[in-house]
Amino acid sequence: MTNMPSLSVVVPCLNEAKRLPLLLADLQRWPSFLDLWIIDGGSSDCTELVANLAGAQLLRIEKPNRGAQLSHGANHARGDWLMFLHADSRLPRQWPAAVEAVINQSSAKLNAWFFDFKINEKGAGLRLLEQAVDLRSKWQQRPYGDQGLLINKSLYKQMGGYAPLPLMEDLDFIERLSCQVKLKSLGLHLYTDGRRWQKFGLLSQTWRNAQLRRQWRRGESTNLLSKKYYQK
């Protein structure tokens, strides 16, 4: 571990005080210093208190904008490697060994890395969705933000980083990345919260997501798309 490049983790948040502690507990498994940044988009709950209790460094922006939050965190991060995670994600126990194996390879910085998609709920339909996402990620080179992203800081900067988009910031960056480098799986699941599939239903949420992506590709404002996505 002595020669291991330092790792920074960037987590954008908005009212995630209930779920964030679980991710922060997972991150505690990292065996050395972790440069951890929580980027808050104007939470009205106890997110700030949770971040402070975990020893994370907290930054705020005026209003929620996930792309801007990710970019802001990356600009402050001090590590040679950056790992971006959503606040409602859960890491597997083996994550430190998998990440260490990557960042200790000199050639690994030429690629970007992601986790395999797993929804933290039961259901045969969700398992089929996970298989579809696995094919999309590995064959089409399109892992999305809820699969995390591990990338060397120099490559992140070279590719221009995250754009300040409130939605589709992950797809925008991944499409730029995949034109230049290979995106590879870390071989471990990253568990994502299943609340949106529970709320809207599997088929409805999958259809909504696909429609939003089509509208984005047609040039519709990401501000408008964000309002549609986060509507209650």
Tens of each residue's pLDDT in the chain, 232 residues: 444 449 999 999 999 999 999 999 999 999 999 999 999 999 999 999 999 999 999 999 989 999 999 999 999 999 999 999 999 999 999 999 999 999 999 899 999 999 999 998 888 888 999 999 999 999 999 999 999 999 999 999 999 999 999 999 999 999 999 999 999 999 999 999 988 888 888 888 889 899 999 999 999 999 999 998 887 6
Residue 1: its pLDDT value, please? 43
Is the pTM above the cut of 0.85? yes
Q: Please tell us whether the domain made up of 7-229 is placed in CATH 3.90.550.10.
A: yes
Q: Please spell the DSSP secondary structure of the chain, one letter per residue.
A: -TTPPPEEEEEEESS-TTTHHHHHHHHTT-SS-EEEEEEES--SSSHHHHHHHTT-EEEE-SS--HHHHHHHHHHH--SSEEEE--TTEE--TTHHHHHHHHHTSGGGGGSEEEEEEEESS--HHHHHHHHHHHHHHHHS----GGG-EEEEHHHHHHTT---S-SSSHHHHHHHHHHTTS-EEEEEEEEEE--HHHHHH-HHHHHHHHHHHHHHHHTT--HHHHHHHHT--
Residue 232: its pLDDT value, please? 61
